[in-house]
Amino acid sequence: MRELLQINGEAVEASVLPGQEGAALVRLSAEEHALSAVRCGAGEVEFDWQGRRYRFHAVATRDTVLVTDGQSYWRFARVEEGAAESGGEEAGTLTSQMPGTVLSLLVAPGAAVTKGTPLLILEAMKMEHEVCAPAEGRVEGFPKQPGERVMPGDLLVEFTRAE
Amino acid sequence: MASATPQLIIPALRVVKPGWAHHRLGRRPGSRRYNRSVFSRVLIANRGEIACRVIRGCREMGCETVAVYSDPDAEAMHVRLADMARHIGAAAPAESYLRQDKLLAVARETACEAVHPGYGFLAENAGFAEAVVQAGLAWIGPPAAAIRAMGLKIEARETARQAGAPVIPGYEAQDDSDEAFLAAAADMGYPVLVKASAGGGGKGMRIVEAPEKLPSALAASRREAGGAFGDAKVYLEKLIDRPRHIEIQVLLDKHGHAVHLGERECSIQRRHQKVIEETPSTVVSAELRARMGETAVAIARRVGYENAGTVEFILAPDGSFYFLEMNTRLQVEHPVTELVYGVDLVHWQLRIADCERLTLRQEAVIPRGHAIEARICAEDPEAGFLPQTGKVLALSVPAGPGVRLDSMLYPGWEVSADYDPLLGKLVAWGEDRLAAIARMAQALTELRVLGVTTNLAFLQNLVTHPAFAEGATDTGFIPRHFPHWATPPAPIPAQLAAVLALALARPTRSAAQQDGSVATPTPWQALGAWSNT
CB contact under 8 A, B495 and A7: yes
CB contact under 8 A, A43 and B394: yes
Tell me, what's the pLDDT at B168? 85
pLDDT in tens, B112-159: 999 999 999 999 999 999 999 999 999 999 999 999 999 888 889 899
Of B205, B238, B271, the residue that ends a domain is B238
Q: How far is B347 from chain A (nearest CA, A)?
A: 31
Q: Which residues of B268-281 are buried (b: 16+ CB within 10 A; e: fewer)?
A: bbbebbbbbbbbbb
A 143-162 near B (Cβ less than 8 A): 152
Cβ-in-10-Å burial (0-12, 13-18, 19+) of A20 comes to: exposed
CB contact under 8 A, B527 and A40: yes
Instruction: Say yes or no: B177 and B261 in one domain.
Output: no
Which class is domain A2-82?
Answer: mainly beta
First CA to last CA across chain B, in angstroms? 83
Residue of B nearest to A130 (CA): B220
CA B370/CA B362 separation, integer angstroms: 19
Q: Which pLDDT band holds residue B7 (cuts at 50, 70, 90)?
A: very low
Q: What is the DSSP letter of B167?
A: B
Confirm whether B66 is domain-assigned.
Answer: yes
DSSP string, B50-118: HHHHHHHHHHHTT-EEEEEEEGGGTT-HHHHHSSEEEEEE-SSGGGTTT-HHHHHHHHHHTT-SEEE--
Query: Any CB–CB contact under 8 A between A10 and chain B?
Result: no
Which residue from A28, A57, A129 is facing B396, i.e. has the nearest CB? A57
Query: Any CB–CB contact under 8 A between A11 and chain B?
Result: no
Instruction: Say yes or no: B251 and B353 in one domain.
Output: yes
CB contact under 8 A, A60 and B501: yes
In chain B, the percentage of residues whose pLDDT exceeds 90 is: 67
Instruction: Say yes or no: B335 and B227 in one domain.
Output: no
CA B106/CA B87 separation, integer angstroms: 9
pLDDT in tens, B379-423: 999 998 999 999 999 999 999 999 999 999 999 999 999 999 999
Tell me, what's the pLDDT at B522? 38
Residue of A nearest to B378 (CA): A125
Report the number of distinct structural domains present in chain B. Answer: 4
Q: What is the DSSP letter of B525?
A: B
Q: Which pLDDT band holds residue B11 (cuts at 50, 70, 90)?
A: very low
For residues B305 and B404, the answer to whether their CB atoms sit within 8 Å is no
pLDDT in tens, B46-100: 999 999 999 999 999 999 999 999 999 999 999 999 999 999 999 999 999 999 9
CA A59/CA B119 separation, integer angstroms: 34
Tell me, what's the pLDDT at A98? 74
The CATH number for B44's domain is: 3.40.50.20
Confirm whether B255 is domain-assigned.
Answer: yes
Q: Which residue has the higher pLDDT, B527 or A75?
A: A75
pLDDT in tens, B457-512: 999 999 999 999 998 887 788 999 998 899 999 999 999 999 999 988 765 433 33
User: Is B509 annotated as catalytic?
Assistant: no
Q: Which residue has the higher pLDDT, B272 or B336?
A: B336
A 116-145 near B (Cβ less than 8 A): 121, 123-129
CA distances (Å), origin B256, targets B28, B31, B307: 17, 17, 11
Closest CA to B65 of B54, B50, B75: B54
ipTM of the shown complex:
0.78
Confirm whether B27 is domain-assigned.
Answer: no
Which residue from A12, A67, A127 is facing B501, i.e. has the nearest CB? A67
Instruction: Say yes or no: B465 and B518 in one domain.
Output: no
Residue A5 φ/ψ, nearest 5 degrees: -125, 140
Residue of A nearest to B528 (CA): A18
How far is C-alpha B384 from the chain's CA centre? Answer: 22
Which chain A residues are within 8 Å of B205, Cβ to Cβ? none
CA B439/CA B428 separation, integer angstroms: 6
Which chain A residues are within 8 Å of B452, Cβ to Cβ? none
Q: How far is A117 from chain B (nearest CA, A)?
A: 13
Provide the CB-side half-sphere exposure for B18 (13 A, CA): 18
User: Residue range A27-52: average pLDDT?
Assistant: 93
Q: How far is B67 from chain A (nearest CA, A)?
A: 23
Of B238, B256, B278, the residue that ends a domain is B238
Instruction: Say yes or no: B174 and B271 in one domain.
Output: no
Best B495, B506, B518, B533 residue to mutate vs chain A (most A CBs within 10 Å): B495
Instruction: Say yes or no: B420 and B475 in one domain.
Output: yes
For residues B443 and B428, the answer to whether their CB atoms sit within 8 Å is yes
How far is C-alpha B387 from the chain's CA centre? Answer: 18
CB contact under 8 A, B497 and A23: no
Confirm whether B327 is domain-assigned.
Answer: yes
Instruction: Say yes or no: B397 and B445 in one domain.
Output: yes
| Sheet of B258-270, strand order | B321-327, B307-315, B244-252, B258-270, B273-279, B370-377, B422-430, B403-407
pLDDT in tens, A44-75: 999 999 999 999 999 999 899 999 999 999 99
Q: What is the DSSP letter of B11?
A: H
**If you average pLDDT over every residue of chain B, what do you get?**
87
The CATH number for B226's domain is: 3.30.1490.20
User: Residue range B420-427: average pLDDT?
Assistant: 97
Which class is domain A93-161?
Answer: mainly beta
Tell me, what's the pLDDT at A147? 87
Instruction: Say yes or no: B231 and B256 in one domain.
Output: no
Q: Which pLDDT band holds residue A93 (cuts at 50, 70, 90)?
A: low
User: Residue range B20-43: average pLDDT?
Assistant: 58
The CATH number for B442's domain is: 3.30.470.20
Instruction: Say yes or no: B51 and B99 in one domain.
Output: yes
Tell me, what's the pLDDT at A126? 65
CB contact under 8 A, B487 and A26: no
Instruction: Say yes or no: B96 and B174 in one domain.
Output: no
Active-site annotation holder among B329, B375, B404, B439: B329
CATH 2.40.50.100 positions along chain A are 93-161
Tell me, what's the pLDDT at B26? 39
Q: Which residues of A76-108 are buried (b: 16+ CB within 10 A; e: fewer)?
A: bebbeeeeeeeeeeeeeebebbbbbebbebbbe
pTM tops 0.80, yes or no: no
How far is C-alpha A104 from the chain's CA centre? Answer: 27
For residues B429 and B436, the answer to whether their CB atoms sit within 8 Å is yes
CATH 2.40.128 positions along chain A are 2-82
Neighbours of A6 (CB within 10 A): 17
Closest CA to B85 of B44, B131, B136: B44
Residue of B nearest to A118 (CA): B216
Residue-number span of the structural domain to which B513 is assigned: 498-530
